[in-house]
Amino acid sequence: MAKPNKKGPTRTVDVFCAKCKTQLFKYRKGGKGALVKCFKERITVSYTTTDCQCPQCSTPFARDVLVRGAPAFKMIGGKVTFK
């Protein structure tokens, strides 16, 4: 399968924890749908100390997966929001 585009989209979104509203990271998102997965190479700024866990409330918000051969975070439904 094809890997995701390295350069990726130019539109950045801020990803927040749905429980405590802490900013988790800035992500270059393509399309206008829901945030289902985040490719690690598209994350521009990360505010988390441990992967897939909110730094404020320690709630897990994603799982580490490989999507089309590229490392990514698979979001748990309802745990994150984005603007």
What does pTM read for this prediction?
0.86
| Residue 58: C-alpha distances to residues 10, 48, 61 (Å) | 30, 10, 9
Smallest CA-to-CA distance from 25 within 55, 67, 2 is with: 55
Could you report the per-residue pLDDT of 7-51, keeping only the tens digit for each?
678 889 999 999 999 999 999 998 899 999 999 999 999 999 999
Domain extent listing, the chain: 12-82
Could you report the per-residue pLDDT of 56-80, keeping only the tens digit for each?
999 999 999 999 999 999 999 999 9
Tell me what pLDDT residue 5 has: 65
Tell me what pLDDT residue 6 has: 63
Tell me what pLDDT residue 27 has: 95
